[in-house]
């Protein structure tokens, strides 16, 4: 078993290094995160009555194209140069899980978003229209379901990732939201300078990887976790793709959950224990 884990760790490190390049310091961080077997203990079930506003809103560098628009159930920052979002943020409540609104599948382009891609950009491209906020998180409201099919919420995503590891992570988030009452989630693409491949007439830029950062801010001891998946088949278990939110901020240049009190933000962004998150 240890040998299998070591092989998987090596595969993940090599994949992330291939995608990002990576310094020795980043290699050490990745290996430390993957190999962490001493999670911090949290008191999960005592829920705080405090509510923090706009946690789903992330902050990016001033020189990055940044069109902000709120939709039903989520908010996003869109990049007209990449024709994809910089980030998509939402709050997922336990009360919203298990709604009966059927999946829409009516993709639409938002004329208010400069550079918004179209359905035809993805046709015969070899990539899925990968939702950042998934449709299954929006089954609580018909308008929310329709809005999550806006093309501003889509990125070119490898089909095996979209239907495999990324889908598994989405399902886990819904389970965690049921357990913890509320999660705040931000997801988006990661580009490196050499990512020049594009699809469609609008030349939608294909990312190297995707991130998802998650906090449960209303527990007595709030916690956070991050995931990075390369835009390809993702081998091994999902804990192999765990990173701290701090490390994902370093990779993306995006500041997440800035509206949390500083002490809570520092705590949830510096620790990532999949074992602690995944317990029932």
Nearest to residue 273, comparing CAs of 94, 33, 20, 6?
A: 33
Choosing from 57, 119, 124, 131, the catalytic residue is 131
Tokens of 241: 């793709």
Q: Are strands 182-190 and 84-93 parallel, antiparallel or unpaired?
A: antiparallel
Are the CB atoms for 191 and 205 separated by under 8 Å?
Answer: yes
Nearest to residue 77, comparing CAs of 185, 153, 155, 137?
A: 153
For 81, list phi and psi in degrees, rounded to 5: -75, -40
For 11, list phi and psi in degrees, rounded to 5: -60, -45
Give the gyration radius of the chain's Cα atoms: 18
- C-alpha distance from residue 174 to each of 36, 168, 177, 184, 185 (Å): 24, 10, 5, 11, 11
Q: Which helix (H) or strand (E) holds 173?
A: helix 165-180
131 classed as catalytic: yes
What does the alpha-carbon distance between residue 233 and residue 158 come to, in Å, rounded to a whole number?
7
Which residues are tagged catalytic?
A: 131
């Amino acid at each position: 078993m240890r040998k299998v884990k070591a092989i998987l760790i090596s595969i993940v490190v090599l994949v992330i290094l291939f995608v990002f390049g990576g310094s020795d310091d980043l290699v050490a961080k990745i290996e430390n995160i993957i190999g962490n077997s001493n999670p911090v203990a949290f008191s999960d079930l005592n829920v705080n009555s405090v509510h923090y506003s706009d946690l789903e809103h992330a902050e990016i560098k001033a020189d990055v194209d940044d069109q902000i628009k709120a939709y039903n159930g989520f908010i996003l920052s869109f990049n007209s140069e990449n024709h994809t979002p910089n980030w998509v943020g939402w709050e997922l409540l336990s009360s919203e899980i298990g709604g009966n609104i059927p999946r829409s599948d009516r993709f639409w382009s938002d004329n208010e978003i400069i550079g918004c891609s179209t359905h035809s950009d993805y046709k015969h491209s070899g990539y899925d229209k990968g939702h950042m906020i998934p449709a299954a998180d929006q089954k609580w409201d018909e308008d929310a379901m329709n809005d999550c099919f806006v093309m501003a919420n889509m990125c070119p995503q490898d089909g095996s990732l979209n239907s495999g590891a990324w889908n598994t992570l989405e399902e886990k988030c819904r389970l965690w939201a049921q357990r913890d009452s509320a999660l705040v989630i931000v997801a988006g693409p990661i580009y490196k300078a050499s990512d020049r491949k594009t699809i469609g007439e609008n030349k939608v830029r294909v990312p190297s990887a995707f991130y998802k950062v998650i906090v449960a801010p209303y527990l007595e001891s709030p916690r956070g976790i991050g995931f990075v998946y390369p835009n390809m088949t993702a081998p091994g278990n999902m804990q192999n793709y765990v990173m701290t939110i701090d490390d994902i901020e370093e990779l993306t240049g995006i500041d997440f959950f800035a509206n949390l009190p500083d002490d809570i933000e520092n705590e949830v962004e510096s620790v990532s224990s999949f074992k602690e998150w995944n317990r029932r």
